[in-house]
Amino acid sequence: MTDLILALDVLTREEAIEIAEKTAPCLDSIKIGYPLVLGAGLSIAGELAEFGLPLIADFKVADIPNTNRLIAEHVFEAGFSAIITQGFTGSDSVTSCVEAAHDAGGECYVVAEMSHPGALEFLSGENAEKIAGMAVKCNADGIIAPATRPDRVRKLREIIGSKKILSPGIGAQGGSAKDIANMIDGMIVGRSIYQAEDPAKAAREYSEFRR
Ligand code: O7E
């Protein structure tokens, strides 16, 4: 299955609820992070959970093991189903997030390689491959890999085997759903849906790439 995950990076509760109402029937889950939570408060997670879709917490957690666990505990208490952590902090920090997620019955994904051009400075190539290998050893549920670089997704897939790959960078950042959908487990799409003139139509069009 390739899921369609909406990156709901709007800034207010009202916009978030409006877009979720329009698009939820075509989505498999919703990802929120700093833009919305800093604007609307963590309680927005409970409101969005009412749409009946899994909610992914994208705080790209990147701290020492104890702090990572404390953050993860808040996230799962707030109603999220999954958390995203950075991998460059090392295996003890990642393990802490994975364990907190699994203790709560949730999932943990590790950012291996990012989708923007600047990622090529530090967070790509050999470093990304090492992070992907480490994510497997730490028993993470999957990794984040860039839809803007399908060749890299292919390489990271060789390393992680059947673990999941969630991929941002489709649409606004130039990645193509058509090119990447059959290589990954989740397409993360933000602006191309929530900034579209007709978000419901845009979500429906992306949902056609689910398999
Ligand atoms: O470009 P958009 O508008 O489609 O949004 C993409 C979303 O994916 C946005 O929330 C951004 O923060 C996130 N993202 C990336 O764009 N690139 C990455 O490398 C990683 C993420 C991300 O979501 O990481 C955790 C999944």
pLDDT in tens, 86-136: 999 999 999 999 999 999 999 999 999 999 999 999 988 999 999 999 999
pLDDT score for 165: 98
- Residue 156: CB atoms within 10 A of its CB come to 26
Q: In angstroms, what CA-CA distances link 158 with 133, 145, 153, 154, 165? A: 10, 13, 9, 7, 11
pLDDT score for 123: 86
- What residue type is assigned to position 50 of the chain? E
Residue 150 banded pLDDT, cuts 50, 70, 90: very high
Percentage with pLDDT > 70 across the chain: 100
Question: Per-residue pLDDT tens for 169-182?
Answer: 999 999 999 999 99
Indicate whether 166 pLDDT > 90. yes
**Positions marked active-site:** 58, 60, 63
pLDDT score for 74: 96
Q: Which residues pair with 32 in a beta bridge?
A: 57
- Residue 130 sits at the vertex; the CA angle it makes with 64 and 166, to the nearest 5 degrees, is 80
Binding positions: 9, 31, 115, 190-191
- Secondary structure E strands in 82-199: 82-86, 107-111, 142-144, 164-168, 186-189
Is 181 exposed, middle or buried, given 0-12, 13-18 or 19+ CB atoms closer than 10 A? buried
pLDDT score for 68: 98
pLDDT score for 162: 97
- Residue 182: CB atoms within 10 A of its CB come to 9
Q: Three-class SS of residue 29?
A: strand
124 torsion bin: left (phi>0), alpha (psi -120 to 50), beta (else): beta
Average pLDDT over residues 201-211: 94
From atom 19 of ligand 1, which residue's Cα is the shortest distance away? 114
Distance (Å) from CA 168 to ligand 1 centroid: 5
Percentage with pLDDT > 90 across the chain: 98
Report the chain's mean pLDDT, rounded to a whole number: 97
- 140: tokens are 């993470």
Average pLDDT over residues 78-90: 97
Indicate whether 47 pLDDT > 90. yes
Instruction: Output the ligand 1 site: residues, CB below 6 A.
Output: 7, 9, 33, 58, 60, 84, 111, 114-115, 144, 146, 166, 168-169, 171-173, 188-192
Indicate whether 211 pLDDT > 80. no
